[in-house]
Amino acid sequence: MKNPCETVMTPPSIAAQVHQDVARALQEDLGSGDLTAALVPAARRAKARILAREAAVICGAPWAEAALRALDPAVQLTWHVAEGQRCAADQVVLEIEGEARALLSAERTALNFLQLLSAVATKTATYVEAVKGTRAAIVDTRKTIPGLRLAQKYAVGVGGGVNHRIGLFDAVLIKENHIAAAGGVAAVLRATEAVAAQAAFIEIEVETLAQLREALDAGAKMVLLDNMPLPTLREAVQLNAGRAILEISGGVTLDGLRALAETGVDRISIGGLTKDVKATDFSMRIQELA
């Protein structure tokens, strides 16, 4: 019977992004060719093991697989920890058998994706666990590594978080500068009628209870409460009375997260999920076959 962890399945939209990300990363690393791997005989095969040096939520398997298969389409991969599962420190997460040169050349690219995306998924899972039992969802932002936004947002999902808008093209988030430029809260909300059909959602950021009241009176259905202290947030939830989806943003830390969630807001967006991540430590060890 086939090991269910042997092959990682991904949605078509992510599969296309994986291919693009990996092709770009391999070109960046290999350029005209791997001069060091060329020292190994072309016919030599090898086995390798990827170990997680610390406990983590495994994420990035599709990218790691794609990097290895790009250089050796016949490579054999056996996952011992599936995408989204937790591993222990020093646990073998993947066993590989294939062309020695290919394994050596793909090593860093495969590990780079695993270390970044596992870090994002692990951090997200920690934040999700901290708000467990409340109504608050943990949401990402656009504060991502350039060129890797979809990969990082995928990792947030693996960690149990929720994706906010992908970019400026798919939803409306009206911030203080938009409000100032448009002539006020009511005026900018009226202007959204022109783009409403193209937007997945329309959200407006407010900094005071007066602005929240104005936004609600103007028909706002989604409001971002920016950098409000806890007592004000509680008042905001009471004032809202379920009329709009309420999201918190700004200065969110893990230590204060539970208290924010217990105010009764619907969403807490955290740029640090994708911006301030410490890479998970992985290593690959190779054993010659023939």
| Catalytic residue, candidates 108, 142, 243, 275 | 108
Q: State whether the Cα torsion 181-184-185-189 is positive or negative.
A: negative
**Alpha-carbon distances of 173 from 64, 188, 202, 207, 252, rounded to whole Å:** 34, 11, 6, 14, 19
| Catalytic residue, candidates 83, 140, 205, 247 | 205
Helices marked H in the chain: 12-30, 61-71, 100-130, 149-158, 176-182, 185-191, 209-217, 230-240, 254-261, 272-275
Dist CA 123 CA 190 (whole Å): 38
Q: Is 47 left (phi over 0), alpha (psi -120 to 50) or beta?
A: beta
Instruction: Dig out the tokens for 261 from the structure.
Output: 């969630």
| Catalytic residue, candidates 45, 143, 213, 221 | 143
By the 8 A CB rule, do 120 and 266 touch?
Answer: no
205 classed as catalytic: yes
99 classed as catalytic: no
| Catalytic residue, candidates 175, 221, 234, 243 | 175
143 classed as catalytic: yes
By the 8 A CB rule, do 63 and 51 touch?
Answer: no
* Measured CA angle at 159 (ends 279, 276), to 5 deg: 35
User: Which residue numbers are catalytic?
Assistant: 108, 143, 175, 205, 226
